Amino acid sequence: MTRAQQTISVALLITSIYLACFLGLIPFSAKVQDEIIPVLPLWALVSFGAYLLARLGWGVLTFNDTPDAHKELMEQIEQAKTDLRAKGVTVD
């Protein structure tokens, strides 16, 4: 099974379970059915966004911990500076 098939399968499973809950096929108390289940997609979207922002922040925070990427980026910066200086732009 490819990664795409696995992702689609999990998404369909979660969607099916949510629809069963939303349509009342799985019995819950009235308070859960009316107040919690309708906002689950929004909650999931906000949680996923927060998770992605945390991963991005962690990646930026630990950027120097990847020496190869840091070295490559510094070389590209120096190359860009020399290229700009050759074209007459003052850099620094």
Integer Cα distance of 51 and 66 in angstroms: 21
Domain presence at residue 17: yes
Cα dihedral sign for 78, 80, 84, 86? positive
pTM equals 0.59
Q: Is residue 61 part of a domain?
A: yes
The predicted pLDDT at position 92 comes to 74
Q: Is 92 among the domain residues?
A: no
* 71: containing domain: 3-87
Cα distance between residue 7 and residue 13, in whole Å: 10
Rounded CA gap, 15 and 40, in Å? Answer: 11
State whether residue 8 is helix, strand or coil.
helix
Q: What is the pLDDT of residues 26-84, one digit of tens each?
A: 999 999 999 999 999 999 999 999 999 999 999 888 876 778 888 999 999 999 999 99
pLDDT score, position 86 = 92
**In whole angstroms, what is the distance from residue 76 CA to residue 72 CA?**
6
Q: How many domains does the chain have?
A: 1
